[in-house]
Structure 1
Amino acid sequence: MTRIAVGGFLHETNTFAPTKATYDDFVHGGGWPSMTTGADVLKVMRDINVGLAGFVGAAEDNGWELVPTIACGASPCAHVTRDAYERIVKVMIDGIAAAGPLDAVYLDLHGAMVTEHLDDGEGELLARVRKAIGRDLPLVASLDLHANVTPEMVAHADALIAYRTYPHVDMADTGRAAARHLALLLKTKQRFARAFRQLPFLIPISWQCTNDEPTRAIYRKLAALESAAVPTLSFAPGFPAADFEHCAPSVFAYGRTQADADAAADAIAALVESHEDDFDGPIYSPDDGVRHAMELSKTATKPIVIADTQDNPGAGGDSDTTGMLRALVRNKASRAAHGVIFDPASARAAHEAGEGAAVTLSLGGKSGIPGDAPYTESFVVEKLSDGKFAAPGPYYGGRDMDMGPSACLRIDDVRVVVSSHKAQLADQAMYRYVGIEPTEQAILVNKSSVHFRADFEPIAAKLLICAAPGAMPADTAALPWTRLRPGIRIKPNGPAFAPPARSRPSSSATG
């Protein structure tokens, strides 16, 4: 029987964000399933929308024996601590080393992990796995669409395969695609030629959405180019908030010949570059966005949904800034709801006060984001929750969520979801679990950039993007870059990056 070691370790790192990812963050998981090890991995990682779950199902269909090591993820934020990285990687490498005879290894990775001691968390992880298994065993990994792919990642893996949707409704599908490619490697016992291209400009995440052009057409063309000669081809628009040399969009192809791989990669790279002008769009200030939403809602029969994009916890924000809440109250919005504000102290105070009580809180604003502060006002506690529920929408895909003690607070005719754990508001259930019916609201403000669209687009009359203070600027040129690849444009048609005279040297891999 074919024996394959599997594992997952996912983190999207915003090096400009205020909070680091500790080991305990991976134990809890945030929007990811809680950390599992050994046989429990195969119990948890099935029938949900994550890469490893898709791979597990496909492996069982193929009759493969799986040797699970560890599976974990944490909400995007600043650097993964050295302690967390080394502890998790040790479990994975030790599990592979102790597995006995293996035929291959599959890993579910993000592709944009930066740690306290490593710029390229996945490149180092793949190098350590390669050292443990030798050069002959196939090593395949699935990646997030926002991966900042590095030459080291490409060098150590036999194939990297990225998601093709944003919102990421195809994470499990990508795991299945990795299984198909691995089956091909095992059957042919041949390696494919690799082509890797890094593109010359950063793409802001708000304009990477695959529901819209130009990205939708790019992925259609990409799928059309796959064939027996080029069995897998990926375009990763990248995560434009990691201050290191290889933060960039990229294309990577695997072909029967080097010419096949090069031709496919060059075609997609040229297509992306031809659309540089199109990776942009309108972004509102908080007040302008709220006022526009209020005007639209006068005739709309569905909610106007606003993305609070700069405090997106899916991009490193702490999900606690108050700019959009202030704008809703200041402009006297009615039938409005905002979620999720991460503030364990306020959630605890609401539980202590009880449903129906009025309580004065300094809500949110604890991240130290310039231009933001706690919002000190009196709120009515409308509903309390223990924070446990299922998120059945297309993004979370039925995942069990644990937001910790939570509350629906009301100020005037504005309701706000307050939680004790943070996760991107990408599912309607993240309102309903505290008693807010999202379809009955005139305005919804979601701390998300794009993932919310998978579940909210069908109920929305209009989608708007607002830029309140937060850790993930909608304009990538606004970030204080110091260590990018010289010459890369820091936004579409923007200025080229030039290293400052005294930038610190790149981190080096250890271990």
Structure 2
Amino acid sequence: MTRVAVAGFQHETNTFAPFPTPLSLFETGGAWPALTRGEVLHDTMRGLNIPLSGFMAACPHEMIPILWAGAEPGGYVEDEAFEAITGEIVAAVAEAQPDAVYLDLHGAMVTRAFDDAEAEILRRLRATVGPDVPLVASFDLHANLSPAVAEVADGVTLYRTYPHTDLAETGARTAQLLDRLLQGPLAKAYAQVDLLVPITAQATEFEPARSLYAMLEDLDVTSADIAMGFPPADIPDCGPSIFAYDSDPTKAQAAVDRIAAAFSAAEAQFDARLEPADACVAHALTLPAPVVIADPQDNPGAGGTGETTGVLQALIDAQVPDAVLSMLYDPDAAAKAHAAGEGAEIEIALGGTFTDYSQPVIATVRVERLSNGVFDFTGPMYGGARAHLGPIARLKLKGTGITVVVGSRRSQNADQEMFRVVGIEPADHALVCVKSGVHFMADYLRITDRILFAEAPGANPCHLDTLPFTRLRAGLRIEPSGPRFPPSKT
């Protein structure tokens, strides 16, 4: 019987984020499972919207489960963490001597030692298994995939939805691709697109991404996929890429060329959809309730600190009569609320730890509800997973209609349970503010299609020409219809 070694190692690295990602964040988990090893992966992954889960459910072969590790997006992955997890995967593969290898990767991991961390993982595994063992990987839609990844991997698949509701489905597609590769190698075609696309413009709920991904269903090739890229990464291979596989190399290349041409033709349609926070709140107040306001530039799911107060301050300044916000990352505020207890009234500083982005909001709050942060997600993206977000508190700002949910672990709000855990039903409120970029839409579109994107300072700027890039490849357009790198000094 064919034996397939399987492992996952996921991180989306924002090289502009003001904090590193140590090994401990992979070990503790949060919205996704903590580092998990060995046979227990079968039970831990079952039913989750994770590529490894989908692969394991669809793969007909004997599997050798090694580990799965993921951490909330943030700054550079520390070299110690990369070497510990990668070393464990490579050593296990060397010992198992499998007939094939599958990796559940992100595609935008960066360490101080490796700009292209996933390519380094693949290189080490290729050196371990040799040239003839099929090596396949699934990647995030936001992957920054280099020519090295295309060269070393025998097969690559990517998520096709943003919000990412098809993670498990992508793993299943990878299992199908592997089955085809076990019959013999496929010709591959690959291209990079010289354009950075803001995260909020990549949503497959909007054009032109919706049509670009729909094209994949009509291509007459074995497999084809698009990576949109992860823009806040100051590395040469940042940006979109295209993959295709087929027994006929001409057909594979034609598929890549067709997608690349459509991508270029659609450049002017990519829209970051941002409104300044104060204007966004004013706009929201003119619409029927409920209205969802996203804070994408402080999205923890893109390396944001999760504690900026720009949107909160805009709500206060507008004296909104009814607004809820979740989840503000503030372990100190959560701890003080838990120490005071439900019903207590305390003066507190909310958020604003990283003062380059915002200042703390000083307020008197009533502690309305407390939680230990352990709860089950129910939305389309995280549904089936159990959250472990540490102490959480629901705080009502005195003299206002504003309620803030503070938590102890950074996590983007992509699921309504991040309100419900402290007794808030989002649909019952006029303004619903979420620390997220696009993923929230998968669940919140269930209650409203009135969705706005606020522009407030954060570590994930969506106007990409404001990022201080120094290491992009020459000729890459920094944002749609924007300047090319390096920008002119005149």
TM-score, structure 2 normalization = 0.98
- Match of residue 331 from structure 1: 318
Give the SS at the match of 1:47.
coil
Give the AA of the match of 1:54.
G
Measured in 1, the distance between the counterparts of 2:487 and 2:71 equals 31
Determine the structure 2 residue equivalent to 1:15.
15
3-state SS, counterpart of residue 289 of structure 1: helix
Native 8 Å contact 2:199 2:272 kept in 1: no
Tell me, in whole angstroms, the C-alpha distance in 2 between the residues paired with 1:305 and 1:118: 38
The range that moved more, 28-37 or 397-406, is: 28-37
Q: Distance in 1 between matches of 2:173 and 2:437?
A: 26
Contact 1:105/1:140, CA 8 A, preserved across alignment: yes
Report the counterpart of residue 167 of structure 2 in structure 1: 171
The match for 2:384 is 398
Give the whole-Å Cα distance in 1 for the aligned partners of 2:430 and 2:461. 26
> How many angstroms apart in 1 are the aligned matches of 2:245 and 2:181?
11
1:2-61 Cα distance to aligned partner (Å, 9 max, x none):
2100000000011001111110101122322111011122221110101000001012xx
Give the equivalent residue in structure 2 for 1:432: 420
The one-letter amino acid of 2:64's match is V
The question of whether the paired residues in 1 share the 8 Å contact of 2:45 and 2:52 is answered with: yes
The Cα shift of 1:329 comes to 1.4
Q: Distance in 2 between matches of 1:329 and 1:82?
A: 42
Alpha-carbon displacement from aligned partner over 1:150-189 (angstroms, at most 9, x marks no partner): 1111111101100000000000000000000111111x2x
Preserved CA contact (<8 Å) 1:31 1:422? no
Instruction: Find the residue that maps to 1:66 and give its secondary structure.
Output: strand
Moved over 4 A (4+): none
1:344-363 aligned within 5 A: 344-363=331-350
Match in the other structure for 2:52:
52
1:310 CA drift (Å):
0.4
Partner of 1:257: 248
Asked if 1:469 is matched to 2:457, the reply is yes
Asked if structure 2 preserves the Cα contact closer than 8 Å seen for 1:404 and 1:420, the reply is yes
Equivalent residue number for residue 83 of structure 1 = 80
Q: Which moved more, 1:344-353 or 1:324-333?
A: 324-333
**Residue of structure 2 equivalent to 1:145:** 141
CA distance in 1, matches of 2:226, 2:254: 14
1:351-393: CA deviation from partner (whole Å, max 9, x where unpaired) = 001111111111111134x241111111111000000000110
Unaligned runs of 5+ in 2: none
Pair 1:286–1:84, CA change in 2 (3 A): same
C-alpha contact 1:32 1:72 (8 A) present in aligned 2: no
Q: Does residue 68 of structure 1 match 2:65?
A: yes
Measure, in 2, the Cα distance between the counterparts of 1:379 and 1:461.
31
Query: Which position in structure 2 is the counterpart of 1:274?
Result: 265
Contact 1:313 1:424 in 2 (8 A): yes
Structure 1 residues 282 and 407: CA distance shift in structure 2, 3 A: same
Q: State the partner residue of 1:504.
A: none
Residue pairs, 1:119-130, within 5 angstroms: 119-130=115-126
1:491-502 → structure 2 map (5 Å cutoff): 491-498=479-486
Asked whether the equivalents of residues 201 and 273 of structure 2 are also in contact (C-alpha less than 8 Å), the reply is: no
Cα contact 1:486–1:499 (8 A) shared by 2? no
Deviates more, 1:32-41 or 1:315-324: 32-41
> Aligned partners of 2:218 and 2:357: how far apart in 1?
46
- Partner letter of residue 375 of structure 2? F
1:467 CA displacement: 0.8
Moved more, 165-174 or 195-204: 195-204
Q: CA RMSD in A?
A: 1.2
Deviations 1:459-478 (A, max 9, x none): 11410011111000111111
1:282, CA displacement in angstroms? 3.5
Q: Which amino acid aligns with 1:247?
A: C
Is 1:35 matched up with 2:60? no
Letter matched to residue 94 of structure 1? A
Tell me the distance in 1 between the aligned counterparts of 2:33 and 2:321. 35
Q: Which moved more, 1:356-365 or 1:141-150?
A: 356-365
Where structure 1 has 5 or more consecutive residues not aligned to the other structure, the ranges are 502-511
Mapped to 1, the partners of 2:367 and 2:446 lie a distance apart of 30
**Structure 1 residue aligned with 2:363:** 377
1:418 maps to 2:415: no
Q: Say which SS state the counterpart of residue 436 (structure 1) adopts.
A: coil
Match of 2:101 among 100, 105, 118: 105
1:335 positional shift = 2.0
Distance (Å, rounded) in 1 between the aligned partners of 2:112 and 2:326: 30
Match of 2:343, SS state, is: coil
Q: Distance in 1 between matches of 2:406 and 2:58?
A: 38
**For the Cα contact (< 8 Å) 1:484–1:499, is it kept in 2?**
no
The one-letter code of the counterpart of 1:319 is G
Larger deviation, residues 106-115 vs 31-40? 31-40
Q: Match for residue 507 of structure 1?
A: none
TM-score, with length taken from structure 1: 0.94
The counterpart of 1:201, out of the listed 170, 188, 195, is: 195
Q: Deviation of residue 196 (structure 1)?
A: 1.0
Cα shift at 1:257: 2.4
365, 377, 386: which is aligned to 2:352? Answer: 365
Deviation, 1:330, is 1.4
Supply the AA of the counterpart residue of 1:202.
Answer: L
The 8 Å contact of residues 74 and 303 in structure 2, kept in 1 or not, is answered as yes
